[in-house]
A and B are shown apart, each in its own frame.
Chain A
Amino acid sequence: MILFLQNIARFILVLLVQVFVLNNIRFSGFINPYIYILFILLLPTRFPRSLSLILGFITGLIIDSFTNTPGIHAFATVLLAYLRNPVIKAFTSIEEGVNPVPGFYGFGVGPFIKYVVTLVLLHHTAFFFLEVFSFMNAGQTVLRILMNSFVTITLIIGLQSLKSGKT
């Protein structure tokens, strides 16, 4: 129950911060970190996959509505929600029957960082290529992906390391 309320609170908080703070950052013209995916990233490991897909779609669609980019965030976030489980399987060795929340405590420092970096890169790659909707000037798009991923990953890791203990 606590976990449920925690996730609801995280959902609202992350969306508010994303829409009203981070979307207004225009540092050096094209830095716009997307940390709203933290909500999907931090769902419990054994969370039903179909449900996380639907939640990802809804989250993406809400962000899309605020930024007038119908479908783009939704697409990238559903992709993220789908690839979450394979990535967890690849980087961690969680036994059957345990259901840790992703984090430094639940996954261990190394695997968790790998998990975040991989998924953020995948999400940002999908998002920025869909945003320009062409492979022309791919170099610039890749630069955008790398710089924004760096900022997003730093923010997520930083936020997570502020937490202490089991949660």
Chain B
Amino acid sequence: MRKLIAFLIKYSVVILFILLELLSFGLIVNNNGYQKSVFFSSGNTVLASLYEVSNSVVEYFYLRQANNGLALENTQLKNQLVELKNQLQVIAPADSVNQNQLQVDPQNEISYIYAKVIHNSTNKMQNYITLNKGERDGIRVDMGVVNEDGVVGIVAKVTEKFSVVIPVINPKLQINSKFKSNNYSGPIVWEGKDYRFTKLNDIARHVKFALGDTLITSGYTYSFPEGILIGTVDDFVINESDAYYDIKIRLAVNFRTLSHVQVINYLNYEEQRQLEKSVTQQP
């Protein structure tokens, strides 16, 4: 017994060291995002109030930015209001007078759902964006996501309150695009280097285009209507032996400063899909 006590005293520092390291390691392993302990996190009341004080000092430096953002959003909303009013005036008499179904204006086939970006990355190989709207706001998988500058990405996963978007700057996503000037189309794929640029494939040698040409969505998918801006041609190369151009596209959207987006709800999604499915299933 005396030997045991002597042993414990002799190695007390080592034992304490191992104990504390095990405790720390236990904390690390048990910390899986959702059910982490509130006490040792910035959700703790004391720590949160300290952060609040620090934030109340720092936020003054960002007031100008916040102001600019609000002003911009305000004008956009006003513009949309005007546009909607105009549309309403056009639609109302047409519906009441002409009962026969004329061709529907493509602009009326879609509606927009506003969402705020709550998480966003640009420096990873697989970038994802999280939005604060989900199933209960009418968002479903495959919807296109745009902001005021152009194409952002496509909804990949939806839960009740949130949704995850695969942006253009993720190699998993290929969006079919075409030149505004001559309608030649090809997919764009991100190479994982720079969040400002992407690559356009499958443009054959004989196609004529120039630096600065505009690239828009082709409209061949359920996700985007035709004609939404993707980017502009920044640089292109073609070697003697190549059949296709190597085209570098400057993206219209700045993913670093993304904050508000619109999710495109294509109203005839189900109908179009059913129709196409029924054709392919026929023997």
Query: Is B27 a contact partner of A71 (Cβ separation < 8 A)?
Result: yes
A53-B16, A53-B20, A75-B21 known; A68-B42 Cβ under 8 A: yes
Question: How far is B42's CA from A65's CA once the two chains are assembled, in angstroms?
Answer: 6
A70-B27, A75-B25 known; A82-B54 Cβ under 8 A: no
Mark each residue of chain B from 7 to 38: 1 if its CB lies under 8 Å from any CB of chain A, else 0. 00000110011001101111111110000110
Which range contains the number of B residues in contact with the other chain? 20 to 34
For the complex, is A79 an interface residue (Cβ under 8 Å from B)? yes
Question: How far is B31's CA from A133's CA once the two chains are assembled, in angstroms?
Answer: 12
Contacts of B12 in A (CB 8 A): 50
Q: Which of A50-75 contact B (CB under 8 A)?
A: 50, 53-54, 56-57, 60-61, 64-72, 74-75
- Name the contact of B44 in the complex, choosing from A20, A65, A71, A75 (C-beta under 8 A): A65
- Name the contact of A78 in the complex, choosing from B20, B40, B51, B54 (C-beta under 8 A): B20
For the complex, is A49 an interface residue (Cβ under 8 Å from B)? yes
Which range contains the number of A residues in contact with the other chain? 20 to 34
Contacts of A69 in B (CB 8 A): 31
Chain B residue with Cβ nearest A73: B24
Query: Is A70 a contact partner of B28 (Cβ separation < 8 A)?
Result: yes
Contacts of A64 in B (CB 8 A): 27, 40
In this complex, the member of A67, A72, A74, A133 whose beta carbon has the largest number of chain B beta carbons within 10 angstroms is: A74
Chain A residue with Cβ nearest B33: A68
A50-B13, A54-B20 known; A66-B27 Cβ under 8 A: no
Query: Is A130 a contact partner of B40 (Cβ separation < 8 A)?
Result: no
Question: How far is B164's CA from A65's CA once the two chains are assembled, in angstroms?
Answer: 28
Query: Is B47 a contact partner of A65 (Cβ separation < 8 A)?
Result: yes
For the complex, is A29 an interface residue (Cβ under 8 Å from B)? yes
Contacts of B13 in A (CB 8 A): 49-50, 53, 82
Contacts of B54 in A (CB 8 A): 20
Question: How far is B23's CA from A71's CA once the two chains are assembled, in angstroms?
Answer: 8
- Name the contact of A71 in the complex, choosing from B17, B31, B123 (C-beta under 8 A): B31
Query: Is B41 a contact partner of A68 (Cβ separation < 8 A)?
Result: yes
A50-B13, A50-B16, A53-B16 known; A70-B41 Cβ under 8 A: yes
A: residues with CB less than 8 A from B are 19-20, 29, 49-50, 53-54, 56-57, 60-61, 64-72, 74-75, 78-79, 82, 130, 133
- List of 3 A-B pairs having minimum Cβ-Cβ separation, nearest first: A71-B27, A75-B24, A71-B28
B: residues with CB less than 8 A from A are 12-13, 16-17, 20-21, 23-31, 36-37, 39-42, 44, 47, 50-51, 54, 123
The 11 sampled A-B contact pairs (Cβ below 8 Å) are: A54-B16, A60-B24, A65-B41, A65-B42, A65-B44, A68-B42, A70-B30, A70-B31, A71-B27, A71-B29, A74-B23
